[in-house]
Amino acid sequence: MDQERSICGAMASNFIRPRWAALLLLFTVVAVASLQITTKAAFPRWPVFSGSAGLTSESPNDVVLASNDDDPRSCSRFFEGVPRRKVVKSIADFGGVGDGNTSNTETFRQAIRYLRRFGDRGGSQLNVPRGRWLTGSFNLTSNFTLFLEDGAVILGSQDPEEWPIIEPLPSYGRGRERLGGRHISLIHGDGLTNVVITGQNGTIDGQGKMWWELWWNRTLKYTRGHLLELMNSHNILISNLTFLNSPFWTIHPIYCSNVVIKNMTILAPLNAPNTDGIDPDSSTNVCIEDCYIESGDDLVAVKSGWDHYGISMARPSSNIIVRKVSGTTPTCSGVGIGSEMSGGVSNVTIEDMHIWDSAAGVRIKSDKGRGGYIANISISNIKMERVKIPIRFSRGSNDHPDKGWDPNAIPKVKGIYLSNVISLNSTKAPQLKGIEGALFEEICFKNFTILGLLKSTAWQCEFVSGYANEVFPMPCPELQKSGSLLCS
């Protein structure tokens, strides 16, 4: 498959049409309350794990993990904490040069090889001081902290040879963009535990323009690398940094557990192809919180494998929380689920988001051949401004890894709960297009308001069923079923 992948692209008796005064009141309440959620959960929640939460540092040599968080609803407790590192070194101790021109690839690799020996003796930390540190890909180690000081910038090498080719992911079967292997991420890790990547708002810049041009020119030989990818890893904290210009998806935890991504700024040009912000993939207990993202693709995308490879591996994504995320993407969505969801996606909470000038607010993407399931998705307290389509279910991408996909493998979607959502100046009504022969059921809307549509604009629904309470404008008949108490 060598073609270029396209970029994301009568009322029921219990339904009451809101009066304009009520709508104005709703808008005022939303603005004043700043999308604060009620303390009573409308939908099922799983237990939140105890443990250390935030990260504090008076100096880069004195990083400790705090046991509390100012927000009692924070999901950062997924990170279990780590002890103070016993050995702290600077990249300059290994001969690194931060002039923006000298390659530090071997320096980073040598430094981490040296620090690896302290993994079972209290762990280690590598500081990156102020400067511009050019490097190719390097691998992290367990019981390790990478700390970027104020003014520190790690720059991705412009030499593709410094982004080596590695094996494709087993749940994808091939590179996502090209057959065969894929370029390793700039910062990579496999089989790690107790890793912290943080700093004093230092920057990691993938300098992705070279890679985007290979894509645009159709001369890309292998799938582009991520800025940061961690595989088969546990207890990870990524915080207090700025990530820029990733060649491909920016942060990609895959086959991981207990991952916290917090207080991050992620930026890429709005036309940069497939530069997703954060993509948890076949991972569990993932917290994405207090992040600002601008990208040329989904701000956050939850995935779990591609067609028959994902079905065979059967590694779902579950217990994912996305909260207090804001940003814009002109071609894609604030949060996407799929389209690679063949291992299953369940127990996802999306809340307290602000999305503007985007193609879609929330998008659920699937297709024939995907199989898998999407279940128990709670979406609440979302504010959208100038978002073209507030909520979209899409299909028909005809996007498969090879000829081995099964056209009879259809996804199952059950339990999508949307509440307290307001979309201002939208141009299209929701589009909920399921798949013929598949179950797309218990799609539930409550207190869902779209303002700015023409009176003639109607919802588009196919092969879905569900319920609606306090929804404006009038939803499609497929959502006007009896039993809407499930939405109360």
Q: 352: domain CATH number?
A: 2.160.20.10
Where does a domain end: 194, 210, 242? 242
**Which residues are annotated as catalytic?**
297
In total, how many domains does the chain have?
2
Residues 480 and 373 both lie in one domain: yes
Instruction: List, in sequence order, every residue forming a beta bridge with 320; answer none if it has no partner.
Output: 286, 348
Which of residues 201, 219, 242 is at a domain's end?
242
213 & 311 share domain: no
Q: What pTM was estimated for this model as a whole? A: 0.89
Identify whether 177 is part of a domain.
yes
Which of 198, 221, 242 is the last residue before a domain boundary? Answer: 242
Give Dmax over CA atoms of the chain in angstroms: 74
**Is the domain of 183 the same as that of 321?**
no
* Res 19: pLDDT: 45
Residues of the chain above pLDDT 90, percent:
82
Tell me, yes or no, whether 25 lies in a domain. Answer: no
Coil/strand/helix, residue 93:
helix
CB 231 within 8 A of CB 191: yes
- Asked if omega into 407 is within 30° of 0 (cis), the reply is no
| pLDDT bracket for residue 397 (50, 70, 90) | confident
Work out the mean pLDDT of the chain and round it to a whole number. Answer: 88
Judge if 215 and 309 occupy the same domain.
no
pLDDT digits (tens, 9 = 90+) for 49-87: 223 334 544 456 655 444 346 788 999 999 999 999 999
Domain assignment present for 45:
no
pLDDT of 183 over the 70 cut:
yes
In this structure, the answer to whether residues 426 and 311 fall within a common structural domain is yes
* 322: Cβ contacts below 8 Å, ≥ 6 apart: 288, 289, 300, 335, 348, 349, 350, 351, 353
DSSP H helical ranges for 217-316: 307-313
* Same domain membership, residue 426 and residue 304: yes
For residue 20, which phi and psi values (nearest 5 degrees)?
-60, -35
Per the structure, the complete domain to which residue 378 belongs is given by 298-396+409-487
* pLDDT higher than threshold 90 for residue 180: yes
Residue 38: inside a domain: no
